[in-house]
Structure 1
Amino acid sequence: MKTAVKAASLAASVLLAACAGAPEQTAQTSNAAPYDNRPDWVKLPMVEDGLASTQCVAKKGSSSIMQAKATALARAEIARQIEVKATALDKTYQRLTEASAGDSFGSSFESVSKTVANQNLSGTRAVKAEYVMGIDGQPEYCVMVTMSPSLTKDLFNDLMKEADANLSAQNEAILYEEFKAFKAHNELDELTAQ
């Protein structure tokens, strides 16, 4: 547990340092959008029934520093995905419990998601890393971090346990499918656009 907390603290520190040192983006003077020819694993990171994130950093400094920074950013994104999925779980769980047992339901998945995410982030791992040419034509160092399907299932079980969710096996299976579903990705996109 202490190792997971230390890893999460380190990731948050690196993320804050990255944000503080990031130069302000300027508006493009051209109306034409640049062509994004980065590989698919960078643009659309995926692992079936698991979680994935690819983050890129500008090519500056040593590759070990760039890898640590991109990995920390990718892990932070997976933590954010977990929080969004937990919010979606709350909505589905409330619908299921209201339909079967009135208004009784346990504590919010959303409220326990940060704790559970921090416990499970130690199970993520970098599966791909390489230099790519960014949209702006400058080289970037990109890292893809994933949480395997088995660890994603463990994460779901931890959320159920911590939220004190009490459902039938059938409703729990429905909830797990919702957790893995594309719907949560849509909500993540909506939150990102705001």
Structure 2
Amino acid sequence: MQLKHIILGAIIGTSLSACGATSKKMPEEAPKNKLTMNIPSWVLNPVVEDGIAATDCVKFSGNMSIDQKMASANARLALAQQIEIKVEGLDKTYASRVDSNDEMTTGTNFSSVSKQLTQQRLNGSRVIKSDIVDIGGQNHFCAMMTLSPTATKELFDAIMEQSKRNINPQDERFLYQEFKAAKAQEELDVTIKKLTN
């Protein structure tokens, strides 16, 4: 009889420890992404209506003045790269639009005239938001640089004019919408991923 109790106790004990082990082995639901959970949306996805925006963050050194200058300079560079990619998108969009209409046009491509114009226009860019942000448990100083809607339109108009292309008003409106579109931001994200891998 005692042997039965010992065997029964061993079986129950083994079953319970197996259940306990099983529950411990089950993975806990991991948070979506600990690194990006508390980062403000303006840092992750900088947007300004009818304009162009870019954000950059530098590790916080404790010297706000130096960190602000670094983050602003990096954000300005990111803004220039974003414009360059948007202009390359203009070239592709314009070429496919012309091809589909069987038109022949002459002129300089938009990319070749944009670099100097971009540098001139970036003088009008400004930081509209900055803050110390916790990224991965470390403080970073982040700055969002924008090119205002007016400056963005002026840049687009200057690129169109310098390209010496005859573009009808409807196509020009379409190209401007494409210039500001999220597609260019997506292409920028792909380019950045390639550079960082």
TM-score, structure 2 normalization: 0.77
CA distance in 1, matches of 2:92, 2:35: 38
Shift of 1:99: 4.2
Match of 1:125 in 2: 126
CA distance in 2, matches of 1:96, 1:166: 13
Measured against aligned partners, the alpha-carbon deviations of 1:23-65 in whole angstroms (never above 9, x if no partner) come to: xxxxxxxx99533211111111110111111111111152111
Match of 2:34 in 1: 34
Match of 1:20 in 2: none
Match of 1:112 in 2: 113
Shift of 1:90: 0.4
* Structure 2 unpaired stretches of 5+: 1-29
Measured against aligned partners, the alpha-carbon deviations of 1:115-166 in whole angstroms (never above 9, x if no partner) come to: 11101101110111111111x2011111111111111111100111121221
Paired residue type of 1:170? Q
| Corresponding residue SS for 2:123 | helix
Aligned: 1:86 with 2:84: no
Counterpart mapping for 1:66-105 below 5 A:
66-100=67-101, 102-105=103-106
Shift of 1:193: 2.4
CA distance in 2, matches of 1:80, 1:51: 11
CA distance in 2, matches of 1:99, 1:35: 45
CA distance in 2, matches of 1:101, 1:168: 15
Match of 1:153 in 2: 153
Q: Are the counterparts in 1 of residues 76 and 122 from structure 2 also a CA contact under 8 Å?
A: yes
Match of 1:53 in 2: 54
| Corresponding residue SS for 1:166 | coil
Count residues with an aligned counterpart. 163
Match of 1:6 in 2: none
Q: Are the counterparts in 1 of residues 94 and 175 from structure 2 also a CA contact under 8 Å?
A: yes
* Structure 1 unpaired stretches of 5+: 1-30
Q: Are the counterparts in 2 of residues 97 and 105 from structure 1 also a CA contact under 8 Å?
A: no
TM-score, structure 1 normalization: 0.78
| Corresponding residue SS for 1:185 | helix
Q: Are the counterparts in 2 of residues 98 and 104 from structure 1 also a CA contact under 8 Å?
A: no
Find runs of 4+ consecutive structure 1 residues off by over 6 angstroms.
Answer: none
CA distance in 1, matches of 2:40, 2:90: 32
Measured against aligned partners, the alpha-carbon deviations of 1:94-116 in whole angstroms (never above 9, x if no partner) come to: 22333446332311111122111
Shift of 1:71: 0.3
Match of 1:43 in 2: 44
Q: Are the counterparts in 2 of residues 41 and 144 from structure 1 also a CA contact under 8 Å?
A: yes
Greater Cα radius of gyration, structure 1 or 2: 2
